[in-house]
Amino acid sequence: MKKQNITLPKGDLKSTFSLTTALTVIFLVFLFTFVQFIFMDDVFLLATKLNILDVTSKIQTLDFSDDEYKSELSDYEAEYNVYLEIYSPRDMLIYTSQSNDTIYQGSSEQGGELKPRIMKILSRTENKDGSYYEIRQEMYASAEYLVYGCFFGDDMAMEVYYSVDVIVENAETASIALAVLTFLIVVVIFGFITFISKMISLPIRQIKVTTKNMSDLDFSEKCRSYRIKEIDELSASINTLSDKLSKTLDTLKDENRKLEYDIQAEKKQEKSRRSFIANVSHELKTPIAIIQGYAEGMKLGIGCDSTEEFCDIIIDESQKMNNLIMRLMEYMHLSSGAYKANRSVFNIRELLSEIIESRSLALKEKEVTVVFEIDPSFNGFSDTILVENIFNNYLSNALSHIDFEKVISVTARDMGQSYRVNVFNSGKAIPGTDIENIWQSFYRADKSHSRAEGRFGLGLSFVATTQEIMGEKYGCENVPGGVNFWFDIKKS
CATH code of the domain containing 349: 3.30.565.10
Residue 489 pLDDT > 80: yes
Task: Give the DSSP per-residue string, 121-178.
Answer: EEEEEE-TTS-EEEEEEETTS--EEEEEEEEETTTEEEEEEEEHHHHHHHHHHHHHHH
pLDDT value, residue 419: 92
* Backbone dihedral angles phi then psi of residue 204, each to the nearest 5 degrees: -70, -35
In a domain, 361, yes or no: yes
Would you state the pLDDT for residue 107? 40
What pLDDT shows up at residue 27?
75
The least confident of 166-175, 263-272, 273-282, 295-304 is: 273-282
Q: Please indicate, yes or no, if residue 463 is contained in any of the structural domains.
A: yes
* 65-74, 101-110, 119-128: range with lowest mean pLDDT: 101-110
Is residue 59 in a domain? yes
Q: Which helix (H) or strand (E) holds 346?
A: strand 344-347
CA count, 13 A, side-chain hemisphere, 181 = 9
pTM of this prediction?
Answer: 0.41
Domain range for 421 is 340-490
Residue 431 located in a structural domain: yes
Q: Taking 60 as the threshold, does the pLDDT of residue 418 lie above it?
A: yes
Indicate if the pLDDT at residue 109 is higher than 70: no
pLDDT score of 367 more than 80? yes
Under 8 Å between Cβ of 158 and 59: yes
Which of 110, 144, 171 delimits the end of a domain? 171
State which amino acid sits at residue 156. Answer: M
Query: Quick count: other Cβ atoms within 10 Å of Cβ 34?
Result: 10
- pLDDT tens track for 196-226: 777 777 777 778 888 888 778 787 778 777 7
Q: Which residues contact 457 (CB under 8 A, 6 or more apart)?
A: 279, 440, 441, 442, 443, 444
Of 153, 171, 189, the one marking the end of a domain is: 171
Q: Determine, yes or no, domain membership for 485.
A: yes
**Which pLDDT tens digit goes with each residue over 241-258?**
888 888 888 888 888 888
Number of domains in the chain: 2
Among residues 171, 204, 219, the one where a domain terminates is 171
Residue 193 is assigned to a structural domain of this protein: no
- pLDDT range class, residue 287, cuts 50, 70, 90: low
Position 245 in a domain: no
Instruction: Answer for the pair 388, 398: CB distance below 8 angstroms, yes or no.
Output: no
Give the per-residue pLDDT at 395.
Answer: 87
- CATH number for the domain spanning 93: value is 3.30.450
Q: Does residue 20 form part of some domain?
A: yes
For the cut 70, the answer to whether the pLDDT of residue 128 exceeds it is: yes
If we measure between CA atoms, which residue out of 488, 489, 486 comes closest to residue 409? 486
